[in-house]
Amino acid sequence: MQRLRIMTGLLLTALLGPGFFSPVLAAAASPGMVRIPGGSYTPFYALKKGPVKLPAFELDAYPVSNADYLTFVRQHPRWRRDQVKPVFADRQYLLHWPDPLRILPEQAQQPVNYVSWFAARAYCQAQGKKLPTQDQWEFVARASESAADASADPRFRQRILDWYARPTPRELGSLGSTYRNVYGVYDMHGLLWEWVRDFNTVMVTGESREDSSFDRNLFCAGGALDGADPSYYASYMRYAFRSSLKGQYGLKNLGFRCAKEVTP
């Protein structure tokens, strides 16, 4: 379905000429990806200096599907569920597949879940991509259907919090089943959580992990972290969630998509 959509886009572009579509689509260099113009943004846990400048990059329009991930596993047997080294993936890894090299028909267009960070990283590398950085992901996650930065929009915030408040459904939705943001990126919220490249560079006060409770003896200079906007509770939830993860974890509600640096 994803490929069909892209093909249609290409066909129409060929018929109507480039530039007919929005700049977002016209500038998207890689298939299946969306070019995100960079910008200045203040992360929830900001450097003391304030906003960070983010160069332009490309992001997958959709989370990675089970079908795409199966293709990867076929090509890279070391990431098969029955061959992966436990140091890189826990026992939950791909446990929802009926077989190490088979998925259910309905899973094809569902986002892949139960993947470890190491596996997600390897998948992106195999595509010549990388996992998005936390800043890249959060930058795009601020966008609603109509605004690049909807982080101050109470309805947008509430929608995200409502989703966080719901338990993970037994069946994950299909790719594209939530919303398309102003950049043309789908499912940033509402489908599943996503790995980021630097998930382990998050530190939040609290007992998120028994071995990393926030303690000046455990963290050099740790007291210097302050939330830039404590009212943005959804961000806090995401940062806290990431800080509770280990790279080996496979979780039902955790998938990923890939990003790519672009040369300006």
Show the site string, 72-111: x = touches another protein by CB under 8 A, - = not.
Answer: -------------xxxx-----------------------
CB of 198 to another protein, least distance (A): 6
Cα 250 to Cα 87, 129, 144, 193, 227: the distances in Å are 12, 21, 28, 12, 28
Residues of this chain, 34-63, that bind another protein according to CB under 8 A: 45, 47-49
C-beta of 214: minimal distance to another protein in Å?
10
Q: Does 12 bind another protein (CB under 8 A)?
A: no
Size of the site for another protein (CB under 8 A): 33
Taking alpha carbons only, the member of 26, 34, 96 closest to residue 66 is 96
Smallest distance, another protein to C-beta of residue 224, A: 5
- Whole-number Cα distances in Å, 157 to 43, 93, 166: 16, 31, 15
Is 2 a binder of another protein (CB under 8 A)? Answer: no
Question: Which long-range contacts does 34-41 make (Cβ < 8 Å, 24+ apart)?
Answer: 34/58, 34/59, 34/60, 34/61, 34/183, 34/184, 34/185, 35/262, 36/136, 36/139, 36/140, 36/183, 36/185, 39/139, 39/148, 41/135, 41/138, 41/139, 41/142, 41/149
* One of 41, 57, 117, 256 touching another protein (CB under 8 A): 117
Burial of 13 (0-12, 13-18, 19+ CB in 10 A): middle
* Under rule CB under 8 A, residue 246 binds another protein: yes
Q: Which amino acid is at 248?
A: Q
Looking at residues 200 to 239 of the shown chain, list those that interact with another protein (rule: CB under 8 A). 200-203, 211-212, 215, 217-222, 224-225
Q: Specify the residue, 131 or 143, whose C-beta has the smaller distance to another protein.
A: 131
> Smaller CB distance to another protein: residue 171 or 215?
215
Which residues contact another protein (rule: CB under 8 A)? 45, 47-49, 85-88, 117-118, 121, 130, 197-203, 211-212, 215, 217-222, 224-225, 243, 246-247
